Amino acid sequence: MKAIRFAEYGGPEVLEPAEVGVPRPGPGQIRIAVRAAGVNPHDWRVREGQFRRVRPIPLPAGVGQDAAGVVDEVGDGVVGIEVGEPVFGRGSNTYAEFAVLSSWARIPEGLSFAEAAGYPSVVETALRVIRLVGVRPGQTLLVSGAAGGVGSAVLQIARDRGIKVIGTAGPANQDYVRSLGATALTYDASWPDRARRLGPIDAALDLNGTGVLRELLDLTGNPDTVVTIADLEASLLGIRFAGVGGNMPEALAEAAELIARGKLHIPIARSYPLAEAASAHADSQAGHTRGRRVLLV
Ligand SMILES: NC(=O)c1ccc[n+]([C@@H]2O[C@H](COP(=O)([O-])OP(=O)(O)OC[C@H]3O[C@@H](n4cnc5c(N)ncnc54)[C@H](OP(=O)(O)O)[C@@H]3O)[C@@H](O)[C@H]2O)c1
C-alpha cells in the first residue's frame, strides 16, 4: 500500500510517499481503508523530532494519528462494529491507504470522510482542557488562539455549555471567531487591556504557545484558572500544561452527539492529496490554520 514515511527527522521535505506492507490490527483494534487523514501540529512536531528524547521512534516511520475511513478488518475482542462501516478515530500512521485505529466511532450522518478526519484529536483536546481549567456555565473564558483546530472546538463546546468566550485571533479570523459565538479580539500588543475592559475573566486557555501566560495570569489573577497546551514555560508560573490524560472514546461520542445537534462544526481549511503531505505540513506550520487541514486518500 502507499503511505507517507520519513527516514530522518527534519523539515516537510523529509516526508515521502513509499510502498509498505498493510498493517494488521491487534486485539481491541480495527483496520480501516483510509479515506482522509487529519493533519495535526503533533504530526509535524514528531517529524521534526521534538519528542525524540521522551518518545524515540525507529526510523523510517509513518505519520499521522487521526483518520476517517471504512472498516476493513476487526481485531480480536472488538464488538459493536463491522467490516464496511464508516468510522473516524485515532490510531497510528494514518497518512496511508490503510491504518490501524485504537479508538473509533461511527461517522455521524451527513459528515463526509474529509470533514470527519478533522475531529478526533481537536475534540479530545478541547474537552480535556475545558475540564482541566474548571470553567462553569455563566463564567467567562479567555481563549488565546481561538481560530485553530482546538480553538474552534473549544469555542463551540463552551457555547453549548453556556460559557461566555472571548477569543484572540488574527484580523482575517475575527468574523470566524464571532461566528462561533465568541467575542473576538485581535492579538496586537493592547489585547490584554481590551480583554480586561470586557469584564471579569474567570478562566483562560493558551492554545498556541505564543508567550501569553503572564497576560493570562494577570487577567484571571490565579494560576489555577489558566491552562496551556503549548507553552513549556508553564510550570515556572505555576500554570498547568495539559499534556496527557485524554479519553478518546468519550470525545468521539461527544463529538458525534454535538454534530448531530448541529452544535459542532470544524471547517476544512484545505484538503490535499496524500502525496502532498509535505505541503500540508508546511502550511500547518505557518501557524494560521482555520479549523483543520486534511489529506485525501
Ligand atoms: N498538549 C496537548 O495535548 C495538545 C493537543 C493538541 C494540540 N496541541 C498544540 O496546541 C497548538 C494548537 O493546536 P491546533 O491544532 O489548534 O493548531 P492550528 O489548528 O494549527 O491553529 C493554530 C492557530 O493559532 C493561531 N495563532 C497564530 N498566532 C497567534 C497568536 N500570536 N495569538 C493567538 N493565536 C495565534 C492561528 O490563528 P490566526 O490565523 O487567527 O492567527 C491558528 O488558527 C499546537 O502547538 C499543538 O501542537 C497540544
Distance 148 CA to ligand 1 centre (A): 5
Residue 288 confidence (pLDDT): 96
How far is it, in rounded angstroms, from Cα 68 to Cα 111? 10
Does residue 50 have its Cβ closer than 6 Å to ligand 1?
Answer: no
Assign 112 a pLDDT band (cuts: 50, 70, 90).
very high
At 46, which helix (H) or strand (E)? helix 41-48
- The SS3 call for residue 128 is helix
Which of 191, 207, 294 to probe ligand 1 with, by most ligand atoms within 8 A of CB?
Answer: 207
Q: Residues near 197 by Cβ (< 8 Å), separated by ≥ 6? A: none
Taking the model in full, what pTM does it have?
0.98
How much of the chain exceeds pLDDT 70, in percent?
A: 100
User: Which ligand 1 atom sits closest to the C-alpha of 229?
Assistant: 1
Residue 244 confidence (pLDDT): 76
Say yes or no to pLDDT of 279 above 90.
yes
Nearest CA among 141, 148, 131, 190 for reference residue 39: 148
Residue 19 confidence (pLDDT): 98
Residue having the nearest C-alpha atom to atom 29 of ligand 1: 145
How much of the chain exceeds pLDDT 90, in percent?
A: 98
Average pLDDT, the chain: 97
How far is it, in rounded angstroms, from Cα 139 to Cα 53? 39
Nearest CA among 57, 41, 42, 43 for reference residue 8: 57
Q: What is the mean pLDDT of residues 150-175?
A: 98
Residue 205 confidence (pLDDT): 98
Residue 94 confidence (pLDDT): 98
Assign 246 a pLDDT band (cuts: 50, 70, 90).
confident
User: Which ligand 1 atom sits closest to the C-alpha of 269?
Assistant: 19
Cell of 216: 493570562
Span of 53-57, 184-188, 209-213, 216-220 with lowest mean pLDDT: 53-57
Residue 245 confidence (pLDDT): 76
| Cα distances (Å, whole numbers) of residue 27 to 34, 44, 249 | 20, 29, 16
Distance 145 CA to ligand 1 centre (A): 6
Say yes or no to pLDDT of 283 above 90.
yes
Across 156-168, b (16+ Cβ under 10 Å) vs e yields bbbbbeebbbbbb
Tens of pLDDT, residue by residue over 48-70, are 999 999 999 999 999 999 999 99
Residue 192 confidence (pLDDT): 97
Strands (E), the chain: 2-6, 16-19, 30-39, 61-62, 66-74, 86-92, 98-106, 140-144, 164-168, 183-185, 203-206, 226-228, 240-241, 268-273, 292-296
DSSP 173: G
Distance 150 CA to ligand 1 centre (A): 7
Amino acid at 42: H
Does residue 126 have its Cβ closer than 6 Å to ligand 1?
Answer: no
Q: What is the mean pLDDT of residues 136-146?
A: 98
In the block, residue with C-alpha cell 455549555: 161
